[in-house]
Structure 1
Amino acid sequence: MEGEAAYGFIVNVDAQGSGLLSDTEKPEMRRRLYDVTGTAFEQAGIRPPRLYQEDRGDGILSVLAPDVPPARVVGEWVEQLHQNLRESNRDLRKPLRLRVGLHIGRVTADAYGRSGRAVDLACRLCDCGTAKAILKAADGAPLVVIASDRVHEDFVLPGGRWVDPGHYRRHDVELKEGRTTAWFMVPGRSEPPEPSEASDPSEATAPSAEPAPDSAAGPDGTPGPTGTNGATGTSGTKASTPPRPPAATDTGGRFVQNIHQHGDGEVIAAERIETLNSNRRGGGR
């Protein structure tokens, strides 16, 4: 009934690298996406009305009725999808590669589709940087499966036809809702490859802005003059590139120039100096 939450198994499928496709290439990608996933559901004996689907542009959200055995999805459907992808990708210059997020939980239906935290988690797992990085590292593999911790515990660990728990590897992933545990499997491989660091630009760590080894940074974080001994090189001559003017601050009526001087050299200021704070290190005596 609309507006009431019901228990369901959630399958979210996303196409890897779809953003790199042109407008003329996307319709063919979508046709093949629906073909390989829909054929796999048919082969696993999962059909409407026990199968609900929503179009997601470069993916498909599927919610299965409570009477569909989840082990059938984790085992038979995943294996059929893998084989369908291998067949569909044969001799293609741009093979279709998919990420599949699996979760189970409460789903609410309304006139616009399906919602709930369980749906959110299945989508987040499918779209996480670790999933993208593992599939990117799995050269030649068309598919990576990401199972939630609950799906892994209840339906992967017991094993069964086409389900080998030894092929899954655990990773703790950062999602918008926080850190959670997920289990990754690449069909056809005994274990998934390790994800390379910062493979997803959205999860990359920005490089730290540290000064060069021969630079001395001031207390306010501005780079100091270049050269081994500050404003002068090791031979005592001035560096070929003049030092940048030290940082100045306006304290509300008084113009303060902070000078961080290393050795002998000229003091350069861009404005008139009313107060001069000098911190001299090393140099002549």
Structure 2
Amino acid sequence: MRPKAQHYSILVVDIEKFGRRANPVQLWLRERLYALVESAFEESGIDHHSGPQPSDRGDGFFWLLPGTVDKTDLTGRYVELLHQRLREHARTSSEEGAMRLRVALHHGDVARDERGWVGEELNTACRLADIAPLRAALTAAQRAGLALAVSADWYRQVVRHDDPSVACETFRRAPFDAKEIQGAHAWIRVPGYDAPPGVPDPGVPDPGDAASAASAGAPERPAGTDRAGEDASGPFAGAHFDRVGQVFGGDQVVYGPQTFRFGEGGDS
């Protein structure tokens, strides 16, 4: 009989640099991880009891939360509380016992067979927790306890609606390329930062790209055309305008005197 899928919010958590620790430290970190995560669940009011138990992954886990869980609370208050717990942990731990987390949020249908959980959306959530931009953000954010990535679908349904607890303005879009997932995007946030460090702003042109530097991402113009791609051999070819930044395109009405100069020293 085919297993029936149910819809869950999917929380994935991985401990940074877990494999570099000695076995006794790994055991202690795992114990602390579950204690901190459940404490944040309890204080935020997130129902983590009525769904399945977490599925351990060694250096972390994935937790399938019931579809009734409020995604805004999970993205906002819960993440902030978990971050606070991690900062408290950091104040009393050595470098060997440090615990910082990569956290991912996604949702979708997941099924269970006799061996465990399976589903495309679960794969997506686990891939999301391991993308390079999320790793880079956590590495660069030395005063943070966690870095959060949400899927594009989660961002659209939850984050972009600008609930104050979610801090929408602090998320930054990043490429999501991992194994079978190519050309997708995720959104990354690091609590305590106005924007996630280590994640390039997609709205800023690459200074090494001449076309981007000249026109903020516009494609390079073919020879013999102007900025708008029009033929540069018309009546205004070579014209210089006496107002810096003046743009002409479409129907224009210009008031006041204007000076047009043709060539470097041509007639007006």
Asked whether the two chains share a fold, i.e. TM above 0.5, the reply is: yes
Please say which structure displays the higher CA radius of gyration: 1
Greater relative CO (CA pairs within 8 A, separation 6+): 2
Q: Any idea what the Cα deviations from partners look like across 1:163-222, whole Å, max 9, x if unmatched?
A: 1110000011221012310000001111101249xxxxxxxxxxxxxxxxxxxxxxxxxx
- Rounded to whole Å, the distance in 2 between the matches of 1:92 and 1:57 is 21
CA distance in 2, matches of 1:99, 1:84: 14
Q: Do the aligned partners of 1:12 and 1:100 also contact (CA within 8 Å) in 2?
A: yes
Partner of 1:73: 74
Matched, 1:182 2:186: yes
Q: Which consecutive residues of structure 1, in runs of 5 or more, have no partner in the other structure?
A: 197-285
Letter in 2 for 1:183: W
Residue type of the partner of 2:57? Answer: R
Deviation (angstroms), 1:16: 0.6
Count matched residues: 196
- Say which of 147, 155, 162 aligns to 2:150: 147
Contact 2:133–2:175 under 8 Å retained in 1: no
Contact 1:50 1:68 in 2 (8 A): no
Confirm whether residue 21 of structure 1 aligns to residue 24 of structure 2: no
What are the within-5 Å matches in structure 2 for residues 5-84 of structure 1? 5-45=5-45, 46-50=47-51, 52-84=53-85
Deviation at 1:161, TM superposition (A): 4.5
Contact residue 146 and residue 185 of structure 1 kept, 8 A = yes
Structure 1 distance, partners of 2:193, 2:92, is 21
Residues in 1 aligned to 2:32 and 2:51: alpha-carbon distance in whole angstroms: 22
Secondary structure of the structure 2 residue equivalent to 1:174: strand
In the TM superposition, structure 1's runs of 4+ consecutive aligned residues that sit over 4 Å from their partners are: none
One-letter amino acid matched to 2:197: P
SS in 2 for 1:50: coil
**Cα separation, 1, equivalents of 2:52 and 2:193:** 29
> Per-residue CA shift, 1:77-130, capped at 9, x if unaligned?
111101111111213222210000110111112233322111111110101122
Whole-angstrom CA distance in 2 between matches of 1:31 and 1:172: 33
SS state at 1:118 partner: helix
Q: Where do residues 68-217 of structure 1 align in structure 2 (5 Å cutoff)?
A: 68-94=69-95, 95-177=98-180, 178-195=182-199
Kept after mapping to 1: 8 A contact 2:48/2:65: no
Structure 1 vs Structure 2: percent identity of aligned residues?
34
CA RMSD of aligned residues (A): 1.7
Aligned AA for 1:5?
Answer: A
Moved more, 185-194 or 48-57: 48-57
Distance in 2, matches of 1:66 and 1:15, equals: 26
| Contact 1:8/1:104, CA 8 A, preserved across alignment | yes
Q: Mind listing any 5+ residue stretches in structure 2 that lack a counterpart?
A: 201-268
- 1:47: Cα distance to partner? 2.8
